[in-house]
Amino acid sequence: MTHQLLHPALQKQAAVQRRLLRWLSLLLFLTAASSTLFFTVRAFASGQVADLLLLALMGLILLPIMALLGGLVWYLGRWQTRRFNTANHLLRECTPVMARLTPTGLGAGRNSTLVAIEPLGGKPAAPLYALIQTTFRANRLLRHELTIRWHCRDLKPGSNLVALHEDALLYGQIIDWPTHYRQMRRVMVGAIVAIAVIVVVLATLAVGDYGRYRQFEQELQWAEASRSWSQASGRVERVELITGTVAKGKSQVPAYQAHIEFTYAVADIAQRGDTLYFCNRLADDRPSAEAWLAKYPAGSPVAVHYDPADPARAVLAAGVTTACASAMEEQRLEVILFSVVTGLLLVLGLVMGSEWRKYGQLNAAINRSY
C-alpha cells in the first residue's frame, strides 16, 4: 500500500486494507466475467439477432461501468495510501500528547464523527473539535469518552491528527467550529428543502394514483352490478381506435383502446354513453381493440345495459372483465411504492431535522463557553 516503512502499529492495519482491496477487486472481476459469460452463452445458444444485439448493448454498458468501478478501487487504494503515509509521518515525527476525546453524537456524513478534544497537559484558549474518520473499530471506540495519546503538528484548523487506541487507528482533522457549523447548516437546510420538494411531488403522485385506484374500484362494483341492470335498445353512433403508449417494463410500447359512442332512450328520454366495458383503457393488445370495433360497427343496433338508479350510466358489455383487476393491481402497487418512498424520505427528513437540532444545541453550548 505504501513504499515507505510504516510504523509498526500501522503495518497490521495496512495489511488488512490491502486484503480488503484485493477481495473487492476480485469480486468486481467475477461479477463482470459471470455477466459477460451469461449473456454470451445466451446470445450464441439462441442464435437470434435480438440476443446478439443485447449482448453488444450489455458490453457497451458493462465496460464503462467496470472502468468506473476499477477507477473507484484505484482511488480508494490511493486514498488509503495517503492516509497511512500521513499517519506514519505523524506517529514518527510528532510528540504524543495525552488528550480526552468526547463524542458529540454528530458527524459530517457517514464517514466522519465529530469529537471534542481536551488536551490534558493544558486547556486551549477555545474549544477544540475534530472530525475523526469512521471505521468499524473507531465507531465502537467513539461511543464513549476516551483518554488517548494523540499525534498532531499543531492545534490549527486543518491540521491532521492520529492516535492509536486498542490497536485501532483514529485518524482525523482539526476543524474550525464556526466554519464547520455554517457549512453543515447550509447542507442540512438544502437537504431538508430538497426532501420536502420530493415528498410533495411523490405525495401528489400517490394521491393521484389512489384516486385512480378508487375510480377503478367503483367501476368494478358497477361491472358486478351491471349483470342485473335493465336493458334498452340503442344504436352505435361513432367508433374510433384510440392510440397511445403504455409502460411495459422499462420502456413505452404502443397501446390501443376501442372507443364506441352509442345512444339509447329510457322512459322516452334520450341518453348517450361511451362505456364499452368498465375499466376500458389503453392496452398493448391491438387485435382485441379491433375485435371490439368489428363487433360494434357504426350504425348497428345494440342492447344497452343501464343502471335503473341512474339511467345515464350505461355499458354495452355487462359484467366483470380482467381489465378492472389488472388496473386496480397496477394502481395499488404504484400507491404502495410512492407511499413507501415518501415514508422513507420523511424519516430521513426527521433524522436530519434531529441532527440540525443537535448541531444547534452544541453550537449554543460552544458559544456559551467562549
On the question of pLDDT at 3 being above 50, the answer is no
User: How high is the pLDDT of residue 2?
Assistant: 44
User: How high is the pLDDT of residue 370?
Assistant: 54
SS (H, E, C) the chain: CCCCCCCHHHHHHHHHHHHHHHHHHHHHHHHHHHHHHHHHHHHHHHCCHHHHHHHHHHHHHHHHHHHHHHHHHHHHHHHHHHHHHHHHHHHHHCCCEEEEEEEEEEECCCCEEEEEEEECCCCCCCCEEEEEECCHHHHHHCCCCEEEEEEECCCCCCCEEEEEECCEEEEEEEECHHHHHHHHHHHHHHHHHHHHHHHHHHHHHHHHHHHHHHHHHHHHHHHHHHHHCEEEEEEEEEEEEEEEEEEECCEEEEEEEEEEEEEEEECCEEEEECCCCCCCCCECCHHHHHHHHHHCCCCCEEEEEEECCEEEEEECCCCCCHHHHHHHHHHHHHHHHHHHHHHHHHHHHHHHHHHHHHHHHHHHHHHHHC
The pLDDT of 130-156, averaged and rounded, is: 78
Q: What is the pTM of this model?
A: 0.56
Q: What is the mean pLDDT of the chain?
A: 82
pLDDT digits (tens, 9 = 90+) for 249-303: 667 888 999 999 999 999 889 999 999 998 888 888 899 899 999 999 999 999 9
On the question of pLDDT at 136 being above 80, the answer is no
The residues spanned by each domain of the chain are 8-91, 94-175, 230-317
User: How high is the pLDDT of residue 368?
Assistant: 67
